[in-house]
Amino acid sequence: MQLRDKIAVVLGASAEGGTGWAIAETLAREGAQVVIAARRLSQLQKLAQRIGGTAIQCDAAKPEDIAALAQAIADRHGSLDIAINSAAMSFIGFISDGDVADLQRSLDINYLAHVHFIRRMAAIMNDGGSITLISSSSAAQPVPSRFAYACAKAATDCLVRYAALEYGPRGIRVNSILPGPIKTEMAARVFAEPGAEAVFETAIPLGRIGSPKDFADTCVWLAKPGYITGVNLPVSGGLHLTRVPRPDEIPGGLGMSANKS
């Protein structure tokens, strides 16, 4: 248990069985004291009881909420060792018809929230700590109709490199992981279509869709003492070596008929 007594925060952990939820559970099993945060407090409290952690309501799109989260951690624990932001929201649409409000909302949640998260968490973090952001494979492999989400995530990956330089002198490591296809609430619409999962499995060299545990294990590995910083790490079963199936190859077409997921 290399993380025994380390103080950790996971933002975006209210979806039961989702990536943030799995990350918090894995950190707790490794001995960390975990603070979990998201908009939905009722779900957070359920997870907090399960892992012996602390639940704090926080809307990732509101800088003042992230500042309040950092203050609450400092008041309760004094400092922080591990910070992971898995909060995200996917937007469906094309450049030609993108809604301005959706574009701003995507930036607020999928990019600017990471800026504020790094700034606030690093301010209360012990030297030698770790910050990990959840990006997306779509930042590097274009997926039609996901441009607003993917471009915000690409900005996040660039942010990681700048933050690694800025906070490196304090020994703080900053990285992102780029998940490939994953069975979560956000992707439920795609994989609910008969045959859709098989199409992705054929494209993935390891032959299966990722699970929240796959990404949780990677985040916890990055949180442990190490020599890696400024990295955008694909966690895709090898999909980054091939290509994402086109919408016309997938039953349901990646849920392109919906506005948001």
| Residue 206 to residue 129: CA distance in whole angstroms | 32
Q: Is the pLDDT higher at 141 or at 127? A: 127
pLDDT tens by residue, 40-60: 898 899 999 999 999 999 999
Q: What is the pLDDT of residue 3?
A: 95
Q: How many CB atoms lie within 10 A of CB 225?
A: 10
pLDDT tens by residue, 206-234: 999 999 999 999 999 999 999 999 999 99
Kindly list the domain boundaries of the chain, sorted by start residue.
7-255
175: which DSSP letter? E
Q: What is the pLDDT of residue 13?
A: 94
Radius of gyration, CA atoms only, the chain: 18
Q: What is the pLDDT of residue 81?
A: 98
Q: What is the pLDDT of residue 188?
A: 64
Judged on CB neighbours under 10 Å (0-12, 13-18, 19+), 95 is exposed
- DSSP H helical ranges for 34-112: 41-51, 63-77, 100-107
Is residue 257 predicted with pLDDT exceeding 50? no
pLDDT tens by residue, 21-35: 999 999 999 999 999
pTM of the model: 0.91
Q: Are 89 and 109 in contact (CB under 8 A)?
A: yes
Judge: domain 7-255, CATH 3.20.20.80: no
Q: Are 233 and 133 in contact (CB under 8 A)?
A: no
Q: How many CB atoms lie within 10 A of CB 192?
A: 12
Strands 33-38 and 54-57: parallel
Is residue 172 predicted with pLDDT exceeding 70? yes
243: which DSSP letter? -
Q: Scanning the structure block, which residue is given the tokens 């990956």? A: 157
